[in-house]
Amino acid sequence: MTSSKLRVPLAVAVAVVAVGALAGCAGSGDSSSSDAGGTYTWWDPYPQHDENSDWATRVQECGTEAGVTIDRTSYDTTALTNQALLAAQEGTSPDIILLDNPAVSTLASTGMLTTTDELGLDTSDIDANLLAAGELDGETYGIPIGANTLALYYNADILSAAGIDPASITDWASLTDALATVTAAGHKGITFAGIGTEEGSFQFLPWFWGAGADLTDLDSSQAVEALALWTDWVKNGYAPQSVISNSQNTSWEEFATGDFAFAENGTWQVDSAADQSFTTGVIVLPAIDGGAAPAPTGGEFIVAPVQQDTARYGVTKQIIDCMTTTEGFVQTADTFAYYIPPTEAGQEELLTEHPELDTWVSAVQSAKGRTSDNLGTDYPLISEQLWTAVQSALSGASSPADALAAAQTAAAAAVAK
């Protein structure tokens, strides 16, 4: 295998990497590909896990198993992707990167990543809906180490007092009926993040996809129905005006007051939900006519940048293989409590240890990558117009139909450039 030429200008690539930066801790570091021999370089977005952490120990163990030492550097999520693009331009890419899944297509489009076929990685057991986030133009780049996603948390005390069985909430109509009941009883209905950033698109997508809408057709009747659902909730007092500026963190803080019956949020709040002073539960986000809506996936892929010295790929493959066994996926889930393994075997093993995560496994099985459907680097251009439409409709500046029509026009123009 030979080195690939970078195909997308660096400035263009850097402009789209922020789509996956929904959360993260600041970090810094400097590393480049080490000389062949006993050291392989590894970059990840986990600066909160220092060299004495279980995560760092596990990474080193996979290096030891492959007969090498791993030089690990951690960056903030967005900084990691930018640094990776710069390193590729300079010919100093690390051997392995753990990369936020929406950024995989960004790096792949530049030609800086090896494909799984080129590296000889077996992806046959990976859930197809999760693997799709790393696919571009018929090629697969990397393997997901796990996934997180969104579901609907509920305050069981409020629902019980209102006589609502959470199991009865199976579609949009039953959810809206539940919101009407709890607000009539003097409680608050639902909180979510409608902020004008990627977080806003991230939280709107389950309703958008759950209505049957497609990101290449933002002003479809299905899309309008999804946005009308949110705006009607606000108009009817089922959701607060604050959703227009809520991040996922601030909407969770609202739910944590104990005043709200429901909150749309992610797997990363599992531990916090268990620590609340009120009883919590979780159900999958419903699609318009029932069943689980496809929620967007979060989580990282383990990818291998192109190297001038192709002899390094054998050891790189060994390290990746070590990290992506069934046991390895479960270890990742245990290390990052909100990650669900991307294979059926891993999910089953996780549930033997944590049966309470059953709803989250179901949510991940129904989830969808934001860059799936071969959207690749078009996704952030479309997403920006989608969250802009959500803001316009929630603020009352435009009707859902007009907001989405403007979004479709702007997105089509942006993608065509």
Same domain flag for 175 and 55: no
Q: What phi and psi, each to the nearest 5 degrees, are found at residue 170?
A: -125, -10
Query: Contact 371/176 with Cβ under 8 angstroms?
Result: no
| Tens digit of each residue's pLDDT (9 = 90 or more) over 116-134 | 999 999 999 999 999 999 9
**Three-class DSSP category at 126:** strand
CB-based contact 24:78 (threshold 8 Å): yes
Can you give the residue range of the structural domain that contains 244?
150-295+375-416
Examine the domain organization and report whether 227 and 336 are in the same domain.
no
For helices 326-335 and 54-65, angle between their N-to-C axes, nearest 10 degrees: 160
Give the closest residue to 265 by CA, choosing from 153, 391, 361, 416: 153
- The CA-atom distances, in angstroms, between 86 and each of 17, 90, 309 are 13, 6, 19
In a domain, 48, yes or no: yes
Residue 3 lies in a domain: no
Angle separating helix axes 344-353 and 358-365, nearest 10 degrees: 160
Neighbours of 401 (CB within 10 A): 17
CA distance 113 to 108: 5
Pair 234, 334 in one domain: no
Q: Are residues 65 and 182 in the same domain?
A: no
116 and 260 housed in the same domain: no
pLDDT at 3: 35
Give the Cα separation of 350 and 386 in Å (integer): 35
Amino acid at 40: Y
Residues 167 and 113 occupy one common structural domain: no
Question: CATH number of the domain that 159 lies in?
Answer: 3.40.190.10
Residues 257 and 316 in one domain: no
Q: Give me the numbers of helices (H) and strands (E) for the chain, helices first please.
A: 18, 11
Residue where a domain stops, chosen among 325, 346, 365: 365
Number of domains comprising the chain: 2
pTM, rounded to two decimals: 0.88
Q: Are strands 260-266 and 188-191 parallel, antiparallel or unpaired?
A: parallel
Q: 228 and 353, same structural domain?
A: no
Q: Is residue 266 part of a domain?
A: yes
Question: Tens digit of pLDDT for each residue in 135-164?
Answer: 999 999 999 999 999 999 999 999 999 999
Segment holding 348, helix H or strand E? helix 344-353
Question: Is residue 5 assigned to a domain?
Answer: no
pLDDT of residue 37: 54
Does residue 179 fall inside a structural domain? yes
Among candidate residues 138, 82, 133, 132, the one with its CA nearest the CA of residue 112: 82
Per DSSP, 305 falls in state: B
Q: Would you give per-residue pLDDT tens digits along the chain (417 residues)?
A: 333 334 444 444 444 444 544 543 323 333 333 344 599 999 999 999 999 999 999 999 999 999 999 999 999 888 999 999 999 999 999 999 999 999 999 999 999 999 999 999 999 999 999 999 999 999 999 999 999 999 999 999 999 999 999 999 999 999 999 999 999 999 999 999 999 999 999 999 999 999 999 999 999 999 999 999 999 999 999 999 999 999 999 999 999 999 999 999 999 999 999 999 999 999 999 999 999 999 999 999 999 999 999 999 999 999 999 999 999 999 999 888 789 999 999 999 999 999 999 999 999 999 999 999 889 889 999 999 999 999 999 999 999 999 999 999 999 999 998
- CA triple 228-231-233, angle to 5 deg: 105
Q: Where are the alpha helices (DSSP H) in 16-141?
A: 54-65, 77-90, 104-109, 116-119, 128-131
